[in-house]
Amino acid sequence: MSFRFPSPKSALELHQRLLQNDVLAPQAACLAFLPALTAYLQHKFPSADPHLHATAATDALMDYLRQPHRFDPSRGNLYSYLCLIAQRDFQNLQRNARRHRHVELPEEFGNSSQSTVLDAILAAEQYEQSQRQLAQLAQRLPQLDQRVLRLMLQKERSTSVYARAMHLDHLSHHQQQRQVKRAKDRILKRLLRGVLHV
């Protein structure tokens, strides 16, 4: 996987938009920076679990989006800053994974990255406006996806809770994971295509 980070000038312009509370900047940052951060970690730690790469990259990006003012352009470029955060988060995740081998990384990755995308989209608009737009989106979704979206917005992380809501109790845990992730991804693709901006 090879993704090019935006030029220093473009990255700094996007950073300034975040500082100025541009409502579209968080979503633009997610789309511009996340693939490059993931690719950086894959290159830096090629033998590691790819789910850790994606989780650390998304966690690092959300740290930045929550507090963009912590980046000081006079001390370096944004790419180096984000890579340092991503590397730190990756190493923390790797240590936690070693201590807790029973944690199922694919499920953890799905929950973390999907929550990150939702957070970025919600951060792109003022809270009340985002809630109205999400309500409008939910009305267009099938009943099944509406239930999944509600759980996602409640920050639910348990596969079994989603499985019950989707009537998947008869499936194995592995099959439940796959079906739940498929439903979440289906919804998030609609969000990233700009369905929220009605």
The residue with tokens 């995740």 is 93
Q: How much is the pLDDT for 138?
A: 67
Q: Using CA atoms, how far apart are residues 109 and 115, in angstroms rounded to an integer?
A: 10
38, 73, 103 - which closes a domain: 103
User: Which domain covers residue 56, as residue numbers?
Assistant: 1-103
Q: Classify residue 70: in a domain, yes or no.
A: yes
Residue 108 lies in a domain: no
**Which position has the token pair 């609609």?**
190
User: Is residue 15 situated within a structural domain?
Assistant: yes
Question: Is 116 contained in some domain?
Answer: no
The CATH number of whichever domain residue 41 belongs to comes to 1.10.1740
**Same domain, residue pair 78 and 149:** no
Distance from C-alpha of 64 to C-alpha of 14, rounded to nearest angstrom: 12
- Report if pTM > 0.85: no
| pLDDT, tens digit (0-9, with 9 covering 90-100), for 163-189 | 999 999 999 988 998 898 888 777 766
Claim to verify: residue 10 and residue 97 sit in the same structural domain: yes
- Residue of 49, 163, 175, 184 whose CA lies nearest to 110: 184
Output the CA torsion sign for 42, 83, 104, 173: negative
The answer to whether 103 and 97 are in contact (CB under 8 A) is yes
- Average pLDDT of the segment spanning 157-167: 88
57 lies in some domain: yes
Total tally of structural domains belonging to the chain: 2
Count of C-beta atoms within a 10 Å radius of residue 144: 13
Whether 127 and 85 have beta carbons less than 8 Å apart is answered as no
Average pLDDT on 120-148 reads 64
User: 8 and 91, same structural domain?
Assistant: yes
Residue range 59-99, pLDDT digits in tens: 888 889 888 999 999 998 999 999 999 999 999 888 876 66
Q: Are residues 1 and 72 in the same domain?
A: yes
